Structure 1
Amino acid sequence: MKTTEIGLVAKSTPESVYIIAYEAPQIASYLYSEVNNLKVVMVVTNVEVTDEALAEAIDSKEAEIMVKYAKAGGAMRIGVEASPVVDLITKRRPQVPIPPRTPVYIASKEVLEETFSVCYGAFAELYSDTPLSSWVRIGVLRSHQDVEVKVNVDAVLSKHLAVLGSTGSGKSNLVAVLVDKVASLGGQVIIIDSHGEYSDMTVSSKDAKLIHFEAKVNPLKVSPLVLASTLIPEAVATKQRNLLRKAIRELNTLYSKSGREKINAEERLEDLIQRASKELDVEVEDTSGRRYLKALYATVMCMKTNPAIDKRDHTVLDNILLKLERSIVEYDVYSTDVVDPVDLLEPGTIVDVDVSLLPDAARNEVVSYICRQVLQRAITGKLLPTLIVVEEAHLYLSSEAEDAAKQAIERIAREGRKYGVGLVIVSQRPKGIDPNVLSQINSLCVLKIMQPEDQAYVKQYSEWLTDEMLAALPTLERGEAILLGEWVRMPVAVKIDKHEGKKKGITISSVKRWLDAKRTKEVKLKGLLEEEEMIREAKEVFS
């Protein structure tokens, strides 16, 4: 098992090892040491290189002179700190320290594969009914790219997962790889797609299916209060919202009629819609959502003729009508016959719910509804284990926010594991996420994070992330990450597989797009000039 010797143990405890090394290994790479009844694999947590002679220099001037006259020829000291991961003999974390002067080696592929197999076995002891297939490949080791890295899907569903990293670090690619693997196992996934990141994604597994669902708000299923706030979001427009809420309740009463009353209600609705269409005189597709808004528009118009309404409120009603007209013309985010995305869930299916076009209040209501529906169905045994992925989680989980979406997601974080509902939160702004949610999450994927305050915030809620690993985060390349917690059982620096079926989210080259547009314009201009020259020549011939 021994390979290249890298140094000797200087001092150690069962929790940490200090090595005097001959060469500097990578942070988060793996070392191996064998002596007596110990075969210890350890992960590098810090590396320090010191010129012993220069270290004794009093000031920079003395150091400059020492270098110039070759007096700094002292020993170069390479100190390596490592954390023991597993003893391959006992298949547990080491209980005794490695003796000083024991040789330390770079862990070979065989050592690492045995290490990971031990971790898989340890997980099986904790989760007695978990099959080996619950371990799925996510990438390769950053320091040993011939060794594949697997994560445990059962741990993701039972312990939840946070995927954190700056813009362009590879978060959505990681999610695409993970959900594709989950679906290939027969799992079901619902993605809250806040920016339409997955709208062009195709699955790579023949056993998986992806359904793209453009989210719309059913105005009959949300409360009048939420709908009024969605249509009129301005904080100062309280009176407008109050009057609009009254109109919404009146209209919803017509939609709720049944039996013989339904015929009269439908005739009344059609009259309202026709009256609004005539008043607005705009050409737009007559969808069910727009028909509802037109009926609402006409209901507000009728309020102006209602003697119970104070005439001083007519200006307020006119402002409401202007905002409704804008919603009718510019947006198509409402539907009275929208399909429930939770109904689309079935084994082997990923449902991508695109909420990117919804106004903020409507988006929060849709997210709340989906999360509540999934959990409620799981509690009543009407839904198989389901993974919910919340992209741009900071939009919903701010410490200051107390809206319906946050409450629904928090409840899944607290209770979901009992009913087979797993949560994956994805964010480029870790500091923007409520700590009460992060504290419920026991698995982490940390990609490149540049901001020190975000780094410190992540460490505060992760017992596995050392200061040295934290310092290494800005050095990670796109698609590289440190995996921690229950889903891997030991810290792993990984190069994540590229998902070939996902195109959006890739950083575009603005310069390339400029040059392409410039070339297109030049070709078009050249064609026009050639056409003008042909016309001129033709005129000369026929004249």
Structure 2
Amino acid sequence: MQDFGLIDLPYPLRKLSLNPLGTLRENPNDSDQYVFQRGADALPSVGAAVVLPPSERQLRSIVESGGERRRVKIGTSPLAGNAKVCVDPNRLFGRHLAVLGNTGSGKSCSIAGLIHWSLEQAQEICSGQPNARFIILDPNGEYSHSFGGENSAIKARIFKVNPAGGECSLKVPLWLWNSAEWCSFTQASAKTQRPLLKRALREVKAGWIGATGSTDEENKLSLRRYLSSTLITLQRDLRSGAIKTDETKFGFRLKAIRDDLEYKQGECATTRLNEISKAIDDALQATHNSFKKEGKQIDYYRAFTEQQVEIVITTIKSSLETLGGITYPEGPDEDVPLFFKGSDLADHLEILSNQENVSQYLDFLISRIRTLLSDSKMNAVIGCDGSITLKQWLTDYIGKDKAEDGSVTVIDLSLVPTEVVHVVTAVIARMVFEALQRYMKINGAALPTVLVMEEAHTFIKRYRDDVENHDAAAVCCQVFEHIAREGRKFGLGLVLSSQRPSELSPTVLSQCNTFLLHRITNDRDQELVHRLVPDNLKGLLRDLPLLPSQSAILLGWASELPILVKMNDLPKSQQPRSDDPDFWGSWVGKDEEGKQMLCSINWLPIVKDWQAGQDGEIEGEDT
């Protein structure tokens, strides 16, 4: 029968449909070696005979091409005589990497292996601890087993909600959060709640009630911020004419300032605060009025004169001079990581709601904040007792100079409460990114760091742009989109691991230049992956549904051409805990090797942990 899809040759023995990949030339310095380059100067004509099939040495030359920069061996290529597959860490981690595949296809072991093999190779070169930084965001608690063991040559820091011996307590204090994260956490509406929430954040960080330190110097700095913010607010109201057009609100604002000053009077020994309070009292008494309505006294204020407000402003300036002058000329930004307590924010929001007469809009928001912050499990992660500073947090989570405390940071998110897990993930990723931005700004050079995100389809999930109020998941995705677009400029590489690439943010996926594709069986995921490669290479991805575990296709910036790779073996002690449960072994009491499996049940420790939280003690435990 005539095959209309192929050229009809006179007497063909075999027919092939080929995709041109590149050109293989003899090495002019060594006739036994070959040099492979992508692309071709001339293509064979349709129907041309195959003169010479590639030898095993030529196939190995194609796979092993790339020069001395390919320093890290990650596996072998079974289709090219088990040629060594090596990668350049600059290409692999510098341009973002996506590891995609079904559950059980070997993604976690591949990521752990890439980190282990890279650091081990670096250790051989520098004969010591490499100055590398890998930060792993681990929502399933798999990687703490892979790094930091007693016999491991790679030092690691493990952060958990309930740490065991040698591990650290996971802390992402709420004063590190920016305004977008606060708005998503509190579900603040855009019209009334969000502006007042941002204002409350600015003013609490500027040194309002409660945001004080423990030493005299910290108290003075807090008072200085507070007076600076108050001065800027009053000057703004004076310029806008609010002292005459919105006089009652302005009067209640002055009254709240006076009450704050009375609270702060004992914190700093300065008589100038009395002068400010007296100036405010004089202005309030001169404009105060009241009337009775239905048996209740209603207070209001007439228009203030500019002279009355100028006197208050002058006394604040005099007090500031004794403290070192005004700070934050434009007021503290709500996104600056300055220490404050969550309860102080709720208290100040309540003051603002009374000042602005919008209690009906803020009562539910304030109640939500107090309820969330009173959760003991949540407070274990986001609580702020002042024990950790910004410098200490950056040192713990990004690392010390020359990575003295380890090259790997594993952040176990498995026990983080669901209500805050997206916010906590967003804060960690954003803080790392912004810290590296400022590092480059000050030092003029990047600090190469790799951020690994497991279960990326959960935290970097596509969202709708037309939604007015973005939830925590959308804010988390936006952080990673920013990192994907800008991270390379500041030395931050991104490694994503996902079993559902079709659910990932298109923005993030489009910024990944290298892909390690394990077995993928879902039609939608296969369709998306096929769009990642040029048309003439799509045939290489036909075997994706059939790939065995520990095998993957490497393609993109880190590889001259797509390669089928059998990943190196990873010792059991270095593998993440992601094995499938052994149902049969549990049923019969023995594993496949014949070893005894102990599956006894004692629910009491589980009940104690469940009911009592962190202390692990409950009444009537014998029952």
Shared topology, TM-score over 0.5?
yes
Hey, what does 1:352 align to over in structure 2? 410
2:20, 2:536 within 8 Å by CA — same for their partners in 1? no
CA distance in 1, matches of 2:587, 2:367: 42
Deviates further, 216-225 or 203-212: 203-212
Hey, what does 1:468 align to over in structure 2? 539
SS across alignment from 2:174: coil
Deviation at residue 482 of structure 1 after TM alignment: 0.5
Query: Is 1:371 equivalent to 2:433 in the alignment?
Result: yes
1:377, 1:383 within 8 Å by CA — same for their partners in 2? yes
Hey, what does 2:364 align to over in structure 1? 316
CA distance in 2, matches of 1:326, 1:313: 22
Query: Is 1:172 equivalent to 2:108 in the alignment?
Result: yes
Describe how 1:45-444 pairs up with structure 2 within 5 A: 81=18, 83-89=20-26, 91-93=35-37, 95-97=42-44, 100=49, 102=51, 104=53, 107-108=55-56, 110-117=57-64, 119-121=65-67, 132=68, 134-143=70-79, 146-184=82-120, 185=122, 186=130, 187-202=132-147, 208-214=154-160, 215-224=170-179, 226-227=181-182, 229-230=184-185, 232-233=186-187, 252=205, 253=207, 254-255=210-211, 259=216, 262=219, 292-293=341-342, 316=364, 319-320=367-368, 323-324=371-372, 326-328=374-376, 331-334=379-382, 335=384, 336=386, 337=388, 339-340=393-394, 341-344=397-400, 346-347=402-403, 349-356=407-414, 357=416, 358-378=420-440, 380-381=443-444, 383-394=446-457, 395-396=459-460, 398=462, 400=464, 405-444=476-515
Q: What does the per-residue CA deviation read over 1:325-377, in whole Å, with 9 as the maximum and x for residues that have no partner?
A: 65235552114426222244745712223344243233223322222323442
CA distance in 1, matches of 2:487, 2:413: 23
Query: Is 1:449 equivalent to 2:533 in the alignment?
Result: no
CA distance in 1, matches of 2:372, 2:554: 48
Query: Is 1:505 equivalent to 2:578 in the alignment?
Result: yes
Deviation at residue 475 of structure 1 after TM alignment: 0.3
Deviation at residue 111 of structure 1 after TM alignment: 3.9
- 5+ long unaligned stretches in structure 1: 1-9, 12-18, 22-77, 122-131, 270-290, 525-543
CA distance in 1, matches of 2:557, 2:507: 19
Change (3 A) 1:345 1:310: same
SS across alignment from 1:332: helix
Change (3 A) 1:166 1:519: closer
CA distance in 2, matches of 1:211, 1:138: 24
Amino acid at match of 1:361: V
Deviation at residue 157 of structure 1 after TM alignment: 3.5
Change (3 A) 1:89 1:196: same
Hey, what does 1:56 align to over in structure 2? none
CA distance in 2, matches of 1:153, 1:478: 24
Of residues 479, 493, 513, the one that matches 2:550 is 479
CA distance in 2, matches of 1:446, 1:465: 18
Q: Higher strand share goes to which structure? A: 1
Deviation at residue 451 of structure 1 after TM alignment: 1.4
Amino acid at match of 1:199: S
Change (3 A) 1:465 1:440: farther
Q: How many corresponding residue pairs?
A: 419
2:101, 2:107 within 8 Å by CA — same for their partners in 1? yes
SS across alignment from 2:533: coil
Change (3 A) 1:216 1:229: farther
**What TM-score do the two structures reach when normalised by structure 2?**
0.56
CA distance in 2, matches of 1:82, 1:314: 64
Deviation at residue 474 of structure 1 after TM alignment: 0.3
- 5+ long unaligned stretches in structure 2: 1-5, 28-34, 123-129, 161-169, 224-262, 265-339, 590-596, 605-623
1:161, 1:442 within 8 Å by CA — same for their partners in 2? yes
Q: What does the per-residue CA deviation read over 1:286-321, in whole Å, with 9 as the maximum and x for residues that have no partner?
A: xxxxx9446667778x76996976776797378437
2:176, 2:427 within 8 Å by CA — same for their partners in 1? no
Change (3 A) 1:236 1:224: closer
SS across alignment from 2:85: strand
CA RMSD of aligned residues (A): 4.6
Hey, what does 1:40 align to over in structure 2? none
